[in-house]
Amino acid sequence: MSKSLHSPTARLLQSSRLFSLPRPLPSPALDNGSAAGQYRNSDSATLPYPVYQSITTPAPAEFRGDWGLKRAIPKKKLLATTHSNTSVIRVRAQDSWEHITDFESAGDHVQTERKWKQIGIPLVIKEPRSTYSNERGAPQSVYDENVDNTDRDVLNNTLASGPTDRKGRPIPALQSQAKQRWKYDGPWIPGMDQGEFEDYITRRLSKRKAEFRQFVIKRILERRIHDEERINREMGLGRTLKAERIQELREEVEANYETEEKKMRDDHVVQNLGSEMTAAICDFLDLPGIRMTGATSSAKTDGLRSMVADFVSDAGPPSTHPGAGLSHIRSNAFMENHPYWGPQAHRSPVKARVIHPRTSVTVNDFQAKLGVAGVVANDPISASYNPAVRAHLPGYTEEEKELHYLEADRMTHVLDENLPGGNKIWVQPETASIDENGRIQLQVSRGDKEAIAVKNDEVEQIHEARSASFVGAGYVPRGGPGGAANYGYSLPDTRPQQNRQPRSRVGGFDAELGRAPQQGRMSDEDAAAKIRDLLSGASGKR
């Protein structure tokens, strides 16, 4: 036991430090900052995704400046450099030429990841809009079986057994429901410039002509075998071909390869992206973004086909997994249960900072920009707000600012410099998706009044929100303790009937006397005379 503790390997592990970090990812391509551009970037802006590995250390080690690096980082130097209290850094260089450790704070991405775990947003695939209704389909989770795939061979086998037409070709309308891949081996050609494309052709593709020829021969042979087996099944001659027949087909395809290749090239001139040549090249090089779609196949003119092809090629392959490791929730179809108020119809809202209002000094935007959990999102409502009705409030208190956060239209119209903490509104995150550039596209909705009141534990506002949600022409109040029961809000109003005098259910003397039980009491003489008349009438009938 003592020998193993004092071995060279044990001593090395006991005194070891962090000596290796993963290589940084390629920096994201940032657009040029412009007021009219889609993104407004700056040198100090947070990158769309982390590039360097974030490291942390326990509190006692941080106090000593021990981060497992070659050099210690004192606590004062850490605070002066990062300007943050988060004990997470990213190291750009452990030992530079100046013999220093280049580091900076990694709290921007780490805090964003922590916030996303708290709010629990499902990540979905951004579905294209429908051609007819111009609406998007139901959101689909990035972890579904037909989306989260990386194995090329398994996917090809699945597509081969999928629905086909009479000629054995896959049906484009039904292939969208088949399994898809998010990772490809080949490059994204539409995203290359002229120099990169020429380098890719000369250095990588020029040496693979013989390999491509064998690939095309195998592809044509498989199609011929599939067609002949289908004909045999229809004629009842068997399901599979014999080895001798397969060898004959192979020799025939190899002998007529030049003819088949010329036919594929001629078809490519007419069909473009829908040709067999394009499909063979995409499968051989495993190229993303040039797949055949149903819209491209239905285009009849060259101009429309070119427009559809440009639209298809604009969206490149994802640079990371569609989930990006932010969340593993597959759906938002779950309900929050408050310990006192019970199940909630809406999820817990969060505060969003108004980064850019609809009205500013330079330009007026259609929608305001909101900051939610470290991500910029668009305001879901672009309603016009009349600035004339805005009351000028010169000062605020800490208690009053929470009330002003409820006025979302006023908060998103223009920034108020007198409000402590800036303009904020309550929103409810719905879904999010990752685009091909690694950016987070977040969809939010305005916060519900009752959900906001439950979040702030405001009892009066909760009752006001619930009563306001049921106000209407056919509203029936909920029955209180000891009151009349109410069996539903869709039933007719029975309050006028409850005010009427109830009729007696007794069919004895009351019905014969012709009086209601609440009209008062008869005198003894009148009652006795009435009884004698009734008895005499009954004896006469006998």
CA dihedral sign, ordered 428, 431, 435, 438 = positive
Do residues 310 and 190 both lie within one domain? yes
In this predicted structure, the answer to whether residue 311 has a pLDDT above a threshold of 60 is no
Q: What angle (nearest 5°) sits at the alpha carbon of residue 530, between those of residues 529 and 533?
A: 90
Compute the average pLDDT of residues 291-306.
50
In a domain, 494, yes or no: no
Do residues 198 and 275 both lie within one domain? yes
466, 467, 472, 477: CA torsion to nearest 10? 110
pLDDT at 96: 75
In this predicted structure, the answer to whether residue 223 has a pLDDT above a threshold of 70 is yes
- What are the tens digits of pLDDT across the range 179-208? 677 777 788 777 788 888 888 888 888 888
In a domain, 160, yes or no: no
Do residues 189 and 289 both lie within one domain? yes
The Cα 66–Cα 72 span in angstroms is: 5
Domain boundary among 95, 119, 143: 119
In this predicted structure, the answer to whether residue 377 has a pLDDT above a threshold of 80 is yes
Q: What angle (nearest 5°) sits at the alpha carbon of residue 170, between those of residues 166 and 175?
A: 140
Compute the average pLDDT of residues 435-454.
86
Compute the average pLDDT of residues 353-372.
80
pLDDT at 239: 73
Strand intervals (E) in 362-511: 369-372, 375-378, 424-434, 440-446
pLDDT at 166: 55
In this predicted structure, the answer to whether residue 457 has a pLDDT above a threshold of 70 is yes
Do residues 425 and 533 both lie within one domain? no
In this predicted structure, the answer to whether residue 32 has a pLDDT above a threshold of 60 is no
Three-class secondary structure of residue 68 per DSSP: coil
Do residues 202 and 241 both lie within one domain? yes
Do residues 262 and 358 both lie within one domain? no
In a domain, 360, yes or no: yes
Compute the average pLDDT of residues 294-306.
50
| Neighbouring residues of 93: CB distance < 8 A, sequence distance ≥ 6 | 101, 102
Do residues 416 and 453 both lie within one domain? yes
pLDDT band of residue 384 (cuts 50, 70, 90) is low
Rg (CA), the chain: 38
Amino acid of residue 398: E
In this predicted structure, the answer to whether residue 13 has a pLDDT above a threshold of 70 is no
Quick check: pTM over 0.85?
no
Token pair in block for residue 434: 């990752």
In a domain, 243, yes or no: yes
DSSP state string for 487-500: --SSSPP-HHHHHS
Q: Picking from 343-347, 456-460, 481-485, which range would have the lowest pLDDT averaged per residue?
A: 481-485
In this predicted structure, the answer to whether residue 389 has a pLDDT above a threshold of 80 is no
Compute the average pLDDT of residues 475-488.
50
Better-scored residue on pLDDT, 416 or 377? 377
Domain boundary among 314, 349, 376: 314
Token pair in block for residue 63: 């106090």
Residue 91 burial (CB count, 10 A): 20
pLDDT at 463: 82
Calculate what percentage of the chain has a pLDDT beyond 70. 65
Do residues 275 and 385 both lie within one domain? no
Do residues 224 and 272 both lie within one domain? yes
Q: What is the DSSP code (8-state) at residue 521?
A: P
In a domain, 504, yes or no: no
Do residues 246 and 200 both lie within one domain? yes
pLDDT at 335: 87
Better-scored residue on pLDDT, 47 or 214? 214
pLDDT at 22: 83
Rounded alpha-carbon distances, angstroms, from residue 538 to 255, 530, 533: 120, 12, 9
The length of the chain is 542
Domain boundary among 412, 438, 469: 469
Q: What is the mean pLDDT of the chain?
A: 73
Range of the domain at 383: 337-469
Q: What is the DSSP code (8-state) at residue 203?
A: I
Number of separate domains in the chain = 4
Do residues 254 and 203 both lie within one domain? yes
305, 310, 311, 317: CA torsion to nearest 10? 130
pLDDT at 329: 87
In a domain, 232, yes or no: yes
In a domain, 262, yes or no: yes
In terms of average pLDDT, the best of 340-354, 382-396, 526-540 is: 340-354
Residue 133 burial (CB count, 10 A): 8
pLDDT at 49: 81
pLDDT at 490: 47
